[in-house]
Amino acid sequence: MEKLIDESVQGAALLLDKSIKNSRKLYIESYGCQMNFSDSEIVASILAAEGFNTTDRLEEADLVLVNTCSIREKAELNVRKRLEKFNAIKKNKPHLKVGVLGCMAERLKSQLLEEEKIVDMVVGPDAYKDLPNLVREIDAGRNAVNVLLSKEETYGDIAPIRLHSNGVTAFVSITRGCDNMCTFCVVPFTRGRERSRDPQSIVQEVRELWNKGFKEVTLLGQNVDSYLWYGGGLKKDFDKATEMQKATAVDFSDLLRLVAEALPKMRIRFSTSNPQDMTLKVVHTMAAYRNICNHIHLPVQSGSDRILKAMNRLHTRVEYMTLIENIRNIIPNCGISQDIIAGFPTETEEDHQDTLSLMDHVKYDFGFMFTYSERPGTMAARKLVDDVPEAVKKRRLEEIIALQRRHSLYRTKKYLGKTEEVLIENSSKKSDAQWMGRTSANTVVVFPKEGYVIGDFVNVKIMDCTSATLLGNAVGLSENN
Ligand code: SAM
């Protein structure tokens, strides 16, 4: 099936346990990628120490924060609409303060204060530790801005307060920023240069999650395979590290091994993998540990060599297909998903056919698919004309989505009659009598609840499927409990 960004969680307000010491109310909502949702937990943790409890009721908030996304123009337009709503509330509640966080804050900086008159505070993704000072500034009636990008900040020393929606799955950030400079992408400008977080603090955070009853973590970064810890500092400065630092450096496969061995029953996922940085060492490590899930999110963006080059994706179509072949040889049941952009500048029908034929070759389990959206400041915006008409972009996207749906069904049908281990995450959205969970390969499974509870690892026999979901019956707890 196609998996667009999960609209149901976009803008979700974060509600955490209350501390009785705290008297002020923070309403924080998040847009965009998983990293933003994870960052909001860091922000809530920092502000909890400043006297704020979270609320999901906008009307009772003293401070409203919106953690924003700039990846496509539509994401920014959604936030502008939300700011209009906050404006209406502020008219009846003049003491209410409004802050914009995240990528849009970084991209537009103080311009946001001028354009959106109701915004009191603008904070970029590397400046959240400055929030206590910035809040004091706005309390004193002044506007506050901090959009400095950092060479070191990883928030490794902040214990995020977790969203208590299921208590089973959590995100753990391992890198920040991105050095890839894909020509379409605004991330290097909004999140800065790439840096990795101390592995010990990552293992510690995963251990604490396990102790609280969590059963699955997703290690997060714009490009996790590029993870490299050599004592701190930017990835690009690794060349200047001492011989000792180089000899003791921890790469992504080392990190996976450390986490997998420290918590042998915790399920481990990771996202996102960039094909040019994914090594076979990582794939072998995945195969070696039962608790590392068999799923790789491997964005390809296009199947055309010419377009891949124009996007500055540093691999060819054949190199990508070879990587897929190697993954399938090492982990035969590995789930593989994609991101694809339709209608990048200069994309011809032939390039588009190359994307469809690459999809046919891989037959992805699912994907996130988008039309190209020109982002100011990116290399593509500076050097290329956004020349594919909107109607053509849309039609190509529809063809990509339709093909993905067929491939997803092809993949889900392969599960029929098999028994899969599923971690129960929640009640099914469609029926309260059914549980929803995922296989190791990240395919959603729905089955009758019987006596099982959230957080159980259950073996489920798959009886039926749609392109998006497997339907089955539990046959017992798995040995992982
Ligand atoms: N870091 C990952 C990578 O390099 O593949 C993904 C980062 S991005 C947050 C998620 C996806 O958004 C990208 O993989 C891409 O498909 C899509 N995207 C990024 N910039 C875009 C743009 N200007 N227009 C349309 N889609 C875009």
- For strand 434-438 and strand 444-448, is the pairing parallel, antiparallel, or unpaired? antiparallel
Which residues pair with residue 367 across a beta bridge? 2, 338
For the chain, the helix, strand and coil percentages under 3-state DSSP, each to the nearest 5: 35, 25, 40
CA distance 184 to 400: 19
Atom of ligand 1 lying closest to residue 301 CA:
16
Two tokens at 273?
């993998």
Residue 1, pLDDT score: 42
CA distance 155 to 157: 5
How many whole angstroms from 421 Cα to the centroid of ligand 1? Answer: 31
CA distance 432 to 438: 17
Q: How far is CA 193 from CA 159, 242, 306, 439, in A?
A: 23, 21, 27, 34
Contact 184 CB / ligand 1 (< 6 Å): yes
Residue 210 near residue 171 (C-beta atoms within 8 A): no
Residue 300 near residue 275 (C-beta atoms within 8 A): yes
Unique residue bearing structure tokens 């970064």: 221
How many whole angstroms from 33 Cα to the centroid of ligand 1? Answer: 10
Q: How far is CA 418 from CA 15, 78, 171, 460, 463, in A?
A: 38, 42, 29, 8, 8
Give me the tens of pLDDT residue by residue for the chain, a chain 481 residues long. Answer: 444 445 566 777 766 666 767 789 999 999 998 899 999 999 999 999 999 999 989 989 999 999 999 999 999 999 999 999 998 888 888 899 999 999 999 999 999 999 888 899 999 999 999 999 999 999 999 999 999 999 999 999 998 988 556 899 999 999 999 999 999 999 999 999 999 999 999 999 999 999 999 999 999 999 999 999 999 989 999 999 999 999 999 999 999 999 999 999 999 999 999 999 999 999 999 999 999 999 999 999 999 999 999 999 999 999 999 999 999 999 999 999 999 999 999 999 999 999 999 999 999 999 999 999 999 999 999 999 999 999 999 999 999 999 999 999 999 999 999 999 999 999 999 999 999 999 999 999 999 999 999 999 999 999 999 999 999 999 999 999 9
Hey, what long-range contacts does 161-164 have (CB within 8 A, 24 or more apart)? 161/16, 161/17, 161/41, 161/44, 161/45, 161/48, 162/16, 162/41, 162/209, 162/212, 162/214, 163/14, 163/15, 163/16, 163/37, 163/41, 164/15, 164/16, 164/17
State the Cα angle at 299 between 293 and 305, rounded to 5°. 140
Ligand 1 pocket test: which of 173, 341, 372 has the largest number of ligand atoms within 8 Å of its C-beta? 341
Amino acid at 431: S
Contact 302 CB / ligand 1 (< 6 Å): no
Neighbours of 67 (CB within 10 A): 29
Residue 18, pLDDT score: 67
Give the DSSP H or E segment for 380: helix 379-383
Residue 283 near residue 327 (C-beta atoms within 8 A): yes
Rounded to two decimals, what is the model's pTM? 0.93
Atom of ligand 1 lying closest to residue 378 CA:
23
Residue 193 near residue 386 (C-beta atoms within 8 A): no
Atom of ligand 1 lying closest to residue 375 CA:
23
Two tokens at 77?
């337009």
Residue 4, pLDDT score: 42
- For strand 469-477 and strand 457-465, is the pairing parallel, antiparallel, or unpaired? antiparallel
Atom of ligand 1 lying closest to residue 272 CA:
2
Helix, strand, or coil here: 465?
strand
How many whole angstroms from 61 Cα to the centroid of ligand 1? Answer: 33
Q: How far is CA 235 from CA 35, 54, 180, 241, 290, in A?
A: 19, 35, 11, 10, 30
Nearest to 441 by CA among 286, 222, 314, 317: 286
Residue 288, pLDDT score: 98
Nearest to 5 by CA among 29, 28, 31: 31
